[in-house]
A and B are shown apart, each in its own frame.
Chain A
Amino acid sequence: MKLSKKVVLLGHFGVGKTSLFRRFMDNEFSEEYKVTLGVQIKKKLIKFPDGRELSMIVWDTEGHSISIEDTRKSYLLGSHAFIYVFDVTREETYATITKDLEYLKENYIKVPVIVIGNKLDLVNEKEIRSQLTEKNIPFDDLTSAKTNKNVESFFLDLAEEITKQA
Chain B
Amino acid sequence: MMKHQSDHSQFNPQVQVIHVTYDNIIIENDHTFFNWKEDTLILDAHPFFEILREFEKNDSSSDKKVLNFPCIHIEDDKTEKICDITLTPEKDKITITLFDYTTKYKDLNQIAQQKNESILLAKELELKNKYLLEKEEFKNNFIANINHEIRTPLTSILGFVEVLEKTKLTFEQEELARIIKRESLHLNALIDDMIDLSKIESGKLKIVEERFSIQNLIDGVHESYSRIAKEKQITFETNVDSNIQEYLIGDRTRVYQILNNILSNAFKFTEEGKITFSVIKNYQRTNKLSLNFKIEDTGIGIMEENIPYLFDRFTRFDAGKRISGTGLGLAIVKNLIDLLNGEIKVTSMPEKGTTFNIKLPFKFEIIKTTPERKKKRYTLPKSAKKYRILVVEDEEVTQYLIMKVLISQGNFFVDIAINGEEAINYIERRKYDLILMDLTVSKIDGYQATQMIRNNYGDKFISAIPIIGFSGRSNDAARDKCIRSGMDDFIAKPFEQEELIYKITKQIAKKAAD
A residues near B, CB below 8 A? 4, 6, 13-14, 33-35, 37-43, 57, 62-65, 70-72, 74-75, 77-78, 89-90, 122
Residues from chain B with Cβ under 8 Å of A39 in the complex: 69, 71-73
A98 to B4, CA, bound (A): 27
- A–B complex contacts, Cβ < 8 Å, 9 sampled: A33-B116, A34-B113, A37-B112, A38-B72, A38-B82, A70-B1, A71-B1, A72-B69, A74-B68
Per-residue 0/1 for B46-63: is the Cβ within 8 Å of any A Cβ (1 yes, 0 no)?
111011011000000000
Q: Is B307 an interface residue (CB 8 A)?
A: no
Q: What A residues does B70 contact at CB under 8 A?
A: 38, 72, 74
Q: Which residues of A contact B47 (CB under 8 A)?
A: 41-43, 57
**Distance in angstroms between the alpha carbons of A33 and B53 in the assembled complex:** 34
| Residues B72 and A13 in contact, CB atoms below 8 Å apart | no
Please give me the residue from chain B that is nearest to A15 by CB atom: B120
B102 to chain A, nearest CB (A): 10
Known: A34-B113, A65-B1. A78 touches B54 (CB 8 A): yes
Give the Cβ gap from A40 to chain B, nearest Cβ, in Å: 5
Q: Is the interface of B mostly helix, strand, loop or mixed?
A: helix
Given contacts A41-B46, A62-B2, contact A35 B109 (CB under 8 A): yes
Nearest residue (CB) in B for A2 is B43
Q: What is the distance, in angstroms, from B222's C-beta to the closest C-beta of chain A?
A: 57
User: What is the bound-complex CA distance between A68 and B312, given in angstroms?
Assistant: 51
| Contact residues in A for B208 (Cβ distance below 8 Å) | none
* A38 cross-chain contacts in B, Cβ below 8 A: 2, 4, 70-73, 82, 105
Pick the contact of B50 from A35, A40, A57, A75 — CB < 8 Å? A57
Least Cβ–Cβ distance between B143 and chain A, in angstroms:
25
Are B116 and A89 interface neighbours, CB within 8 A? Answer: no
B468 to chain A, nearest CB (A): 45
A122 to B123, CA, bound (A): 12
Give B82's nearest chain A residue, CB to CB.
Answer: A37
Q: Kindly list 13 other residue pairs between chains A and B, CB separation below 8 angstroms, not including A41-B48, A78-B51.
A: A6-B50, A14-B116, A14-B119, A33-B116, A33-B117, A35-B113, A38-B73, A38-B105, A43-B50, A74-B67, A77-B67, A78-B50, A89-B123
Q: Is there an interface contact between B105 and A4, defined as CB atoms closer than 8 Å? A: no
Distance, CA A75 to CA B68, complexed state (A): 9
Interface 1/0s, chain B 25-55, versus A by CB < 8 A? Answer: 0000000000000000000001110110110
Q: Bound complex: CA of A39 vs CA of B2, how far in Å? A: 11
B35 to chain A, nearest CB (A): 20
Q: Are A122 and B54 within 8 A (Cβ)?
A: no
Q: Of all chain B residues, which has the CB nearest A90?
A: B123
Q: Are A13 and B116 in contact, with the CB atoms below 8 A?
A: yes
Complex formed: what's the CA distance from A40 to B46 in Å? 11
Q: A64–B1 contact, CB under 8 A?
A: yes
Q: Which residue on A lies nearest to B71, using beta carbons? A: A38
B104 smallest CB distance to A (angstroms): 11
- CB of B407 closer than 8 Å to a CB of A: no
- Complex contacts, A62 vs chain B, CB 8 Å: 1-2, 71
Give the residues from 221 to 242 in chain B that come closer than 8 angstroms, CB to CB, to chain A.
Answer: none
Rounded to whole Å, the gap between the CB of A22 and the closest CB of chain B is 13
- As a 0/1 sequence over residues 65 to 83 of chain B, the CB contacts with chain A under 8 angstroms (1 = contact) are 0011111110000000010
Which of chain B's residues have a CB closer than 8 A to the CB of A63? 1, 116
- In the assembled complex, the Cα of A41 lies from the Cα of B67 at a distance in Å of 17
B53 touches A122 (CB 8 A): no
Given the complex, which residues of B lie within 8 Å of A75, measured CB to CB? Answer: 69
What's the Cα separation between A39 and B116 when bound, in Å?
17
B132 CB–A CB distance under 8 Å? no
Tell me whether A122 and B72 are in contact (CB under 8 A).
Answer: no
Complex alpha-carbon distance, A89 and B128, angstroms:
11
Q: Is B180 an interface residue (CB 8 A)?
A: no
Residues of A within 8 Å of B117, CB to CB, are 33
CB distance from B126 to the nearest CB of A (A): 9
